[in-house]
Amino acid sequence: MTVQDFKSISPTLTLEDYFQGKTRAYGLFEDRFGKVRNQFTVQIEGTWDGETLVLDEDFLYSDGETECRRWELKKQGNSGYIGYTDSVVGAAKGEVVANSFNWRYTFNLKVGDNFWKVKFDDWMFLQPDGVLLNKATVTRWGVKLGTVFISFAKDIPDLAKNP
């Protein structure tokens, strides 16, 4: 599957427009055996300066753990992006076409007291009414560890006001 497979699908996704301001996300991680291992919500604050999209993400996991992550995505040409965050090895690289965004990256994932170097093949699809669906396959040494599913929505109250 490539983003070109979706070139005629609408609505059109523009990352810097979609993530400008506040966005809320709901997600879960399903292991390769189909068992849900963790669920989470994310409050995202996005800013765009004309070159770089900054996403400040505050995660709240179902086990009570919290995490803060800051992504910086630099636009490359009309449809490309290069992304950076502390846990990414090198850079995340992706492309937007029509309603889809695919990016791939290597990530230092905290597992217990250790960090595992895993690969993400991350797909996002903009749906009508501003819902953005995300499916990311996570692998290590070429073996699928599991899948992350996330749904993004705009204009939802802060987590602190509506947990």
Exposure letters 12-47 (e unless 16+ CB within 10 A, then b)? ebebbebbeeebbbebbbeeeeeeeeeebbbbbebe
Minimum mean pLDDT among 85-89, 116-120, 121-125, 154-158: which range? Answer: 154-158
Q: What is the pTM of this model?
A: 0.90
- Write out pLDDT tens, residues 2-57: 899 999 999 999 999 999 999 999 999 999 999 999 999 999 999 999 999 999 99
pLDDT at 162: 46
Peptide bond into 128 cis (omega under 30): no
> 137 or 128: whose pLDDT is higher?
137
pLDDT at 86: 94
Task: From 89, 15, 88, 25, select the one nearest 53 (Cα to Cα).
Answer: 15
